[in-house]
């Protein structure tokens, strides 16, 4: 059985922190699907298609990483794609508390799907999409936080 993993999130935008987690998870799984979840309570800065395209471009030479867009419960999407693992990145203790609550709920819904937590590299701890979006909105230089593929597509002021 292939070890298929879903890395769900909004990835608005894809940051170096996201790339760090994906790269360090590659040895653990046969396939990682980066799932851009559509969340009606969030108003993204970038379209879901743009975010998926970034993933596809960043990992164009790595066939084990795919980008996808999904809606609904993450646990249901895991079943659809045959994923038995959910990957989550942890920056702070508070992230773990929040993520553990979600992992516990998911385990209640389906005991065959396990959540795997990877802690981010310390140099990426401050890289949060929310902060990066604020930098972009205000015309700041977001390049230290973004893969070149993402930064190069941003409108320049």
- CATH number for the domain spanning 15: value is 3.40.50.620
Q: Is residue 77 part of a domain?
A: yes
Confirm if 87 and 25 have CB atoms less than 8 A apart. Answer: yes
> Does residue 114 carry a pLDDT above 70?
yes
> Does residue 28 carry a pLDDT above 70?
yes
> Does residue 61 carry a pLDDT above 90?
yes
Q: Mean pLDDT over residues 71-88, rounded?
A: 97
> Does residue 150 carry a pLDDT above 80?
yes
Number of domains in the chain: 1
Give the pLDDT confidence score for residue 96 in this predicted structure. Answer: 92
The residues annotated as belonging to the active site are 18, 42, 91, 129
Q: CB burial class (10 A; 0-12, 13-18, 19+) of residue 2?
A: exposed
Q: Is residue 156 part of a domain?
A: no
pTM of the model: 0.94
90/7 Cα distance (integer angstroms): 12
Enclosing domain of residue 114: 4-151
> Does residue 42 carry a pLDDT above 90?
no
Q: CB burial class (10 A; 0-12, 13-18, 19+) of residue 110?
A: middle
């Amino acid at each position: 059985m292939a070890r298929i993993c879903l890395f769900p999130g909004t990835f608005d935008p894809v940051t170096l922190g996201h790339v760090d987690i994906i790269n360090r998870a590659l040895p653990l799984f046969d396939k990682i699907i980066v799932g851009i979840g559509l969340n009606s309570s969030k108003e993204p800065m970038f379209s879901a298609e743009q975010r998926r395209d970034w993933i596809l471009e960043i990992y164009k030479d790595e066939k084990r990483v795919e980008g996808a867009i999904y809606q609904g419960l993450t646990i249901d999407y895991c079943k659809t794609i045959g994923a038995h693992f959910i990957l989550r990145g942890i920056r702070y203790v508070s992230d773990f508390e929040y993520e553990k609550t979600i992992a516990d709920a998911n385990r209640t819904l389906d005991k065959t799907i396990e959540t795997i937590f990877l802690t981010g590299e310390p140099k990426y701890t401050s890289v949060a999409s929310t902060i990066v979006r604020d930098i972009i909105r205000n015309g700041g230089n977001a390049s230290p936080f973004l893969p070149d593929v993402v930064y190069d597509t941003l409108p320049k002021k």
